[in-house]
A and B are shown apart, each in its own frame.
Chain A
Amino acid sequence: MTATGPRIKLPDTIKTGDVIEVKTLIRHEMETGNRHDKNGNPIPRDIINSFIAKFDGNEVFRAEFGPGISANPYLAFEMRVPGPGVIEVTWTDDHGVSVVATAPLNVA
């Protein structure tokens, strides 16, 4: 299945130098590959296996997921704000399909 509904949540007010929590969420089954359908046929693995967050094009956080991450993967991480810019998050699934979301860092 294709991932849908990517979300990035940032604090409402941000100042340069603040350490903020970046919360992310995307809708995806995270099918483990260990389940069977009602006819007993194995359901193939299909998960989001890679997560990359960039700030103005530079990587600030990266993760690899296995099937032990819950459906609709939620991930939050911290970062120090270098200044105004754009956060870009990319989720990539087992088929190599990526979903990208962006959010501006509105620095006061």
Chain B
Amino acid sequence: MIGFAPFLARADGVAPAAEFVPSQDFKDDFAKVVGGATPVRGRITVDLPETADNGNFVPITIAVDSPMSDADHVTAIHLLSTANPHAHVATFHLSPINAIARVQSRMRLAKTQDVVVLAALSGGDMLISTTRVKVTIGGCGI
């Protein structure tokens, strides 16, 4: 099991600014989701605004480049927040009938942070994507 540190948006060995240090709840959820896998970057496209004016209501689209065949498909997409009081935002379960691995929703962001998406593949591999979002007015009472 590896920690989240290698996947921080700033992965150049410099310690992240305080606001980008992930919460303990995030670290716990990340470890739970990743299990024994080693996530690799790539094949995930996350559409999030660079700046969210309203943290209560942030549109998100997640797409994973996958053939979605019986032999090779996305089984789950995990959406995690590194700085909300509750790190686990959602898990989406997919199968070949979905044909395209894409989901859209709206999420809350308590403050500026990195949003982490993990995609579990049918072969046991795991993909990761991190997206930094600047939040102007945090999600009130998240």
* List of A residues within 8 angstroms of B105 by Cβ: 69-70, 73-76
| Complex contacts, A62 vs chain B, CB 8 Å | 92-93
B49-103 residues at the A interface, CB under 8 angstroms:
56-58, 79, 81, 84-95, 97-103
Q: Count chain B CB atoms within 10 A of each CB in A66, A71, A79 and give the residue with the most.
A: A66
Q: How many residues of A contact B (CB 8 A)?
A: 28
B94 — nearest CB in chain A belongs to which residue? A61
Please state if A64 and B58 are interface contacts (CB–CB under 8 Å): no
Q: Say whether B86 contacts A75, CB under 8 Å.
A: no
- How near does chain A come to B76, taking the closest CB pair, in angstroms? 9
B86 partner residues in chain A, CB cutoff 8 A:
32, 34, 66-68
Query: Provided the pairs A32-B86, A34-B141, A62-B93 are in contact, do residues A71 and B56 lie with their beta carbons within 8 angstroms?
Result: yes
- In the docked arrangement, what's the CA distance between A69 and B60, Å? 10
Mark B residues whose CB is within 8 Å of A. Answer: 56-58, 79, 81, 84-95, 97-109, 140-142
Nearest first, the 3 closest Cβ-Cβ pairs linking A and B are A68-B89, A35-B141, A80-B99
Extra 8 A-B pairs, beta carbons < 8 Å, given A66-B90, A76-B104? A32-B142, A60-B98, A61-B94, A64-B90, A68-B87, A69-B90, A77-B102, A80-B97
